[in-house]
Amino acid sequence: MDIVILGLPMMYYIAMVAKVLVAFVFVLLTVAYATYAERKIIGHMQVRLGPMRTGWHGLLQPIADGVKLFFKEEIVPSQASTFAFLVAPLIALIPAFITFAVIPFGGVIEVAGYKIPLQIAAYFDTTAGKVFDVNVGVLYILAMSSLGVYGIVLAGWASNSKYSLLGGLRASAQMISYELSAGLSIVAVFMLSGTLSMNEIVKLQSGLGGFEWYVFKQPLAFVMFFICSIAEINRTPFDLPEAETELVSGFCTEYSSMKYAMFFMAEYANMVTVCALTTTLFLGGWNGPLATTIPLLGPVYFVAKVYFLIFFCMWLRATVPRYRYDQLMHLGWKVFIPLALLNIVVTGIWNFIIQ
């Protein structure tokens, strides 16, 4: 006899824990080896080898770096606000991981007679015969991703350093500027799909051999959202809050040991989340050839698309120089916001015509 808790069989809770562990391990391993991949990719683009000494072709370099940072001495500046200084890295890191809860990384698989959706915050209702997830999943991701900047601002203020404070101020201004553009750019997707549910958005992009993907229907929104997301997570060429040539290391100048590593992990985890969100909204999510027939192919397609976008982020770092701050603000306020508003108007007119 099945054990039922809060109206759901125990199997669903076991599956939930398993999905959390799989997603956490996936993000953690991707974060660790994204640092290695970035150093190797940029190295080869600059006609050098990158890490080579630790393990075969440097494959153990992320592990060595992690061990080194774990055992390094932690230094807290004497004039820093100690509690805020210590808690800031956690505030930056935790939202980067929990945003993955609403992203569907596959379809529905059957385990021991139960249908399990490959999405953490979702369950399959046998009565209705469909998957129920967080019906405002996109808003949840935008809300959680916005929290991470509080950790950066707090780190800049608590460090009691002019470089850190300037980095924190830049991060807050940059987040406000580009989050507005990113939010407006994906309004067009909601207008086409009529839902904020991540699972439903993926379903609406299935069929026609991939030509139902919103990247083909909303190419301008795709480009704007991806660029704005890169700016929001402070990736090159929008890494003004760190800007080594101006601010030493910006908001994390005074950090060392694992506290510094946590900021580093937060940046790469945010990059994974941004690429996963872009894949879900514009690249059909886990959709691909035979993905509905063979459910386990869904996660393979999803991961492949996410890794391609991560590679593109690394490619940008190797080829595009850092923007000046005035250029950064000009691009956000005077280019992307008007373009996003124009795209909304055009999409609304198009929807009115075809209906």
Q: What amino acid is encoded at 6 in this protein? A: L
Closest among 230, 233, 243, 223 to 335, alpha carbons compared: 223
Q: Is residue 83 part of a domain?
A: yes
Q: Which domain holds residue 222?
A: 62-107+134-354
Could you tell me how far CA 343 lies from the centroid of its own chain? 24
Instruction: Record the tokens describing residue 230, joined without a space.
Output: 């890169």
Q: Is residue 56 part of a domain?
A: no
Q: How far apart are CA 302 and CA 104, in angstroms?
A: 9
Q: What amino acid is encoded at 155 in this protein? A: A
Cβ 241 vs Cβ 152: under 8 Å: yes
> Considering Cα of 36, then 39, then 42, then 44, what sign does the dihedral take?
negative
Indicate the Cα dihedral angle 259, 261, 264, 268, nearest 10°.
Answer: -120
Largest CA distance in the chain: 66
337-354 and 162-185 helices cross at what angle (nearest 10)?
20
Q: How far apart are CA 283 and CA 216, in angstroms?
A: 9
Strand partners of residue 4: 9
> Considering Cα of 241, then 323, then 34, then 54, what sign does the dihedral take?
negative
Q: How far apart are CA 346 and CA 340, in angstroms?
A: 10
Q: Is residue 18 part of a domain?
A: no
Backbone angles phi, psi at 321, to 5 degrees: -75, 160
Q: How far is CA 125 from CA 11, 55, 131, 132, 211, in A?
A: 13, 48, 6, 7, 30
Q: Is residue 260 part of a domain?
A: yes
The predicted structure's pLDDT at residue 323: 84
The predicted structure's pLDDT at residue 1: 43
Other CB atoms within 10 A of residue 177 CB: 21
Q: Is residue 193 part of a domain?
A: yes
Q: How far apart are CA 145 and CA 148, in angstroms?
A: 6
Q: How far apart are CA 77 and CA 8, in angstroms?
A: 51
Q: What amino acid is encoded at 137 in this protein? A: G
Q: Model confidence over 173-183: pLDDT tens digits?
A: 888 888 888 88
Q: Is residue 14 part of a domain?
A: no
Ranges of the chain with pLDDT below 70: 1-9, 209-210, 243-248, 355
Q: Is residue 27 part of a domain?
A: no
If one counts the domains in the chain, the total is 1
Q: Is residue 19 part of a domain?
A: no
The predicted structure's pLDDT at residue 251: 79
The predicted structure's pLDDT at residue 337: 92
Q: Model confidence over 23-32: pLDDT tens digits?
A: 888 888 898 8
